[in-house]
């Protein structure tokens, strides 16, 4: 079953990359079709594994991450009928899922024992927010490329492969909302868990927590600026990309 | 049945001759009736556009058919035989099929990939079909051509990039704003180019238009024509704040919009991008406006370069498209030939069987003493003889036709056996199904 799932994601990833790089429209049905089949299988497998007990180890979390990325991309596809974001989302999900399948307990099964509802909630919400920030990064990158294309006055064929600036900015805006909301909720649950476990909200090592708080602050600042000062377009895109790289470092520090 | 195509196009014939051969589309059925008056053509379709005049026909005899088309051109159009012969190209069968597929797919057009030609070919077919001039052979051919054209449009981005200044401007606007619905267009100046671009944008959904011109009366006149509003030329700064798309085409000798003016408008627009189309010569917008983060400025040279790039891109795509087309031509010809072979084989079998019957009756009359058993044996023997005689040539012909569709001529097979398949008597085809 995992093998079929991996094959589906591989087919979908290759098709999406091919479509994005050639600008062709014939073949979308295969890419999205393979993705939907893979996603259905993936949902089933995650459902079964959750029903039979909490999945342990990195594999399960990476697989969950892949699932969330695909889910978000499918929502975006349903809304905009554009495969460009899939050119980033589907290969990323394929790599995550492939890694999860190949090395289910690579860092030791059970090494990340996630016990209790608070901690589980914290982890799931964190997953959602990281998937959102990855897609935010992808949409920001596309915005910068597209804006550069238009500025150059001699746009290449990529002009027609990427969505319009308006759509990309809209995506940036909406994904930011979701990502920030999930991250906020995840941090809250995390600190509640810390309180119940250690009796204090911020009991973890400051090196592990402060970077995350800073990332939360950064995305929060971006959101506030978008809402109050109508930060749009390029500024927001650059900020999203920098924030994502910073967030990767914070994540590494967290573990 | 031969497919014959004779015509002229922009490739080899100057407009001065094409315009004399042109058939106005309003009375196309009458022209078809007139063409039908020349004997030798079983089916006919006239495709007449500003870039080509072509007659497609199906005929029993190629030479007679071509002669009919010749006479039709000479007697109904203002052209001499020498002039016609110098320009008329003639194709048959495979070449004619390839040509029609190429034309319908817009690969033979002056602007490769332009979308109008497919509609014109469909209309030419529709008129001929409705007036009873297109029968089974041309219906088969044309409906396949429509499918090939559709396939090429789906599988290659041949028609996607715009190749005129106005359509490039609209395309760029769409890459910035997505949908143009609800976008504000500000037209500076009342020039013709500006009006054309504004019309194009409006047709693409940008329905909120304002005109500013130094002469207010001209602005009002243009605004009425374009169903837009008028803004005062003295209040450009204010108008600029609301404008998403600015088209500048005034006769001003200096820049009307410079960096500070646009920068201040952008600040008030809170980072919402503005697309400036400067089609005036000399330019109306200072080039350094493009350095502003959310301003996208294109002058007439930029737009023309994009259009030229796109046209070159289409030529490249056309190469891919021709490969698809060639395989479609081969598939179609193979299918047509298999069909025709099947009819021919049936006719030969019918011919052989009637000959066998005839001969066997003669033999029975000559040998009345032959018993029931003897008659049966003779019957079986002649049947086997006929089957064995026909088996080898049929098998070889089938194989040859599979290997190279253009290599064998079904016509010569028919001549060899002295048969003519009666494929024309099948009921007329319904109009082609364009759904797949």
Pick from B262, B290, B308: which residue ends a domain? B308
Position A107 scores a pLDDT of 43
Q: In degrees, to the nearest 5, what angle opens at C-alpha B176 toward C-alphas B173 and B181? A: 65
Contacts of B315 in chain A (CB under 8 A): none
Domain assignment of residue B294, yes or no: yes
Q: What is the DSSP letter of A1?
A: -
Residue of A nearest to B174 (CA): A164
The bridge status of strand B89-92 relative to strand B52-59 is unpaired
Cβ neighbours of B154 in A, within 8 Å: 25-26
Examine residue B435 and state whether it is found in any structural domain, yes or no: no
- Per-residue pLDDT tens for B122-171? 999 999 999 999 999 999 999 999 999 999 998 888 887 888 888 899 99
**Joined tokens for residue A40:** 């259905």
Edge-first strand order for the sheet with B43-48 is B43-48, B52-59, B2-9, B89-92
Query: What are the tens digits of pLDDT across the range B3-45?
Result: 999 999 999 899 999 999 999 888 899 999 999 999 899 999 9
Distance from CA of B156 to the nearest CA of A (A): 6
Q: pLDDT category, B429, cuts 50, 70, 90?
A: very low
Q: Would an 8 Å CB–CB cutoff place A230 in contact with chain B?
A: yes
Q: Do B175 and A146 touch (CB under 8 A)?
A: yes
Are B273 and A165 in contact (CB < 8 Å)? yes
DSSP-assigned beta bridge partners for residue B285: B257
DSSP state of B234: G
d(C-alpha B422, C-alpha B346), whole Å: 10
Fold of domain A1-113: 1.20.120
Q: What is the pLDDT of residues B250-309, one digit of tens each?
A: 988 889 999 999 999 998 888 789 999 999 889 999 999 999 988 999 999 999 999 998
Examine residue B317 and state whether it is found in any structural domain, yes or no: no
Whether residue A23 and residue B172 make contact (CB cut-off 8 A), yes or no, is no
Q: Distance between CA atoms of A69 and A91, rounded to whole angstroms?
A: 10
CA distance B32 to B128: 7
Same domain, B150 and B246: no
Query: For A23-111, where are the alpha helices, taking DSSP H only?
Result: 28-51, 57-80, 86-102
Segments forming the whole domain that contains residue B294: 165-308
Question: Which of A150, A229, A234 is nearest residue B172 as measured by Cβ atoms?
Answer: A150
Residue B104 near residue B332 (C-beta atoms within 8 A):
no
- Of B128, B160, B192, the residue that ends a domain is B160
- B392/B293 same-domain check: no
Widest distance between CA atoms in chain A = 61
Query: With left for phi above 0 and alpha for psi between -120 and 50, is residue B206 left, alpha or beta?
Result: beta
In B197-208, which positions are buried (b, 16+ CB within 10 angstroms) versus exposed (e)? bbebbbebebbb
Q: What are phi and psi of B180, to 5 degrees?
A: -90, -5
- CB A232 to CB B294 under 8 A? yes
Residue B117 · residue B159 · CB < 8 Å: no
Q: What is the pLDDT of residue B73?
A: 94
pLDDT of residue B426: 43
CATH code, domain with B265: 3.40.50.720
**Chain B interface includes A23 (CB < 8 A):** yes
Band the pLDDT of B407: cuts 50, 70, 90: low
pLDDT digits over B70-104, tens only?
A: 999 999 998 899 999 999 999 988 899 999 999 99
Q: Is A195 on the interface with B (CB under 8 A)?
A: no
% of residues, chain A, pLDDT over 90 = 38
Q: Is B198 assigned a catalytic role?
A: no
The closest of A140, A136, A138 to A234, measured between CA atoms, is A140
ipTM metric: 0.84
Q: Which of B159, B165, B77, B88 has its CA nearest to residue B117? A: B159
Q: How far apart, in whole angstroms, are the C-alpha atoms of residue B48 and residue B111? A: 17
Q: Give the nearest chain A residue to B290 (CA atoms).
A: A151
Structural domain boundaries in chain A: 1-113, 115-255
> What is the average pLDDT value for chain B, to the nearest integer?
89
B290 contacts in chain A (CB < 8 Å): 151, 153
User: Is A115-255 a domain of CATH 1.20.120?
Assistant: yes
């Amino acid at each position: 079953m995992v093998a079929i799932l991996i094959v589906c994601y591989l087919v979908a990833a290759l098709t999406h990359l091919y479509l994005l790089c050639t600008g062709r429209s014939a073949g979308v049905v295969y890419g999205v079709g393979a993705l939907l089949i893979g996603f259905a299988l993936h949902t089933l497998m995650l459902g079964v594994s959750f029903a039979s007990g909490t999945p342990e180890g990195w594999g399960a979390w990476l697989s969950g991450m892949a699932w969330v990325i695909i889910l978000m991309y499918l929502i975006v596809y349903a809304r905009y009928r554009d495969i460009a974001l899939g050119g980033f989302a589907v290969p990323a999900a394929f790599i995550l899922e492939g890694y999860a399948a190949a090395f289910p307990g690579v860092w030791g099964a059970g090494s990340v024992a996630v016990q209790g509802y608070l901690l589980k909630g914290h982890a799931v919400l964190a997953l959602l927010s990281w998937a959102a920030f990855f897609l935010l990064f992808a949409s920001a990158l596309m915005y910068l490329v597209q804006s550069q294309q238009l500025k150059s006055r001699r746009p290449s064929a990529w002009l027609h492969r990427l969505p319009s600036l308006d759509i990309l900015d809209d995506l940036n805006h909406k994904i930011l909302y979701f990502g920030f909301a999930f991250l906020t909720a995840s941090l809250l649950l995390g600190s509640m868990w810390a309180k119940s476990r250690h009796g204090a909200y911020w009991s973890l090592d400051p090196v592990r927590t402060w970077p995350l708080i800073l990332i939360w602050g950064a995305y929060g600042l971006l959101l506030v600026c978008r809402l109050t000062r109508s930060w749009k377009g390029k500024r927001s895109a650059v900020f999203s990309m920098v924030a994502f790289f910073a967030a990767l470092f914070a994540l590494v520090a967290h573990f | 049945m031969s497919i014959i195509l004779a015509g002229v196009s922009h490739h080899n014939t100057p407009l001065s001759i094409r315009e004399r051969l042109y058939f106005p589309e309003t009375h196309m059925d009458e022209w078809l009736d007139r063409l039908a008056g020349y004997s030798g053509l079983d089916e006919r379709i006239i495709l007449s556009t500003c870039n080509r005049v072509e007659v497609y026909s199906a005929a029993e005899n190629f030479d007679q058919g071509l002669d009919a088309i010749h006479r039709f051109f000479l007697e109904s159009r203002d052209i001499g035989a020498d002039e016609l012969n110098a320009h008329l190209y003639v194709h048959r069968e495979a070449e004619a099929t390839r040509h029609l597929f190429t034309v319908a797919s817009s690969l033979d057009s002056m602007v490769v990939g332009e979308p109008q030609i497919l509609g014109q070919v469909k209309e030419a077919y529709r008129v001929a079909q409705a007036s009873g001039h297109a029968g089974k052979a041309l219906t088969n051919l044309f409906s396949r051509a429509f499918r090939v054209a559709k396939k090429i449009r789906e599988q290659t981005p041949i028609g996607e990039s715009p190749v005129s200044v106005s359509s490039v401007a609209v395309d760029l606007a769409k890459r910035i704003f997505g949908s143009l619905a609800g976008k504000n267009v500000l037209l500076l100046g009342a020039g013709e180019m500006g009006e054309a671009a504004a019309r194009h944008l409006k047709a693409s959904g940008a329905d909120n238009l304002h005109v500013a011109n130094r002469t207010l009366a001209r602005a009002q006149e243009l605004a009425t024509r374009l169903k837009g509003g008028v803004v005062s030329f003295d209040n450009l700064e204010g108008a600029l704040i609301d404008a998403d798309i600015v088209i500048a085409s005034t006769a001003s000798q200096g820049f009307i919009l410079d960096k500070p003016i646009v920068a201040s408008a952008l600040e008030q627009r809170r980072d919402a991008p503005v697309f400036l189309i400067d089609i005036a010569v000399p330019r109306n917008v200072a080039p350094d406006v493009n350095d502003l983060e959310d301003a996208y400025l294109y002058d007439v040279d930029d737009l023309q370069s994009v259009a030229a790039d796109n046209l070159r891109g289409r030529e490249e795509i056309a190469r891919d498209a021709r490969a698809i087309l060639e395989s479609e031509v081969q598939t179609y010809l193979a299918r047509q030939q298999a069909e025709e072979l099947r009819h021919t084989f049936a006719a030969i079998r019918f011919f052989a069987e009637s000959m066998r019957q005839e001969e066997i009756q003669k033999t029975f009359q000559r040998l009345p003493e032959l018993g029931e058993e003897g008659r049966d044996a003779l019957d079986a023997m002649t049947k086997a003889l006929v089957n064995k005689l026909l088996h080898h040539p049929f098998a070889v012909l089938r194989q040859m036709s599979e290997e190279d569709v253009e290599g064998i001529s079904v016509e010569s097979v028919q001549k060899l056996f002295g048969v003519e398949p009666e494929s024309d008597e099948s009921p007329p085809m319904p109009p082609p199904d364009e759904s797949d």
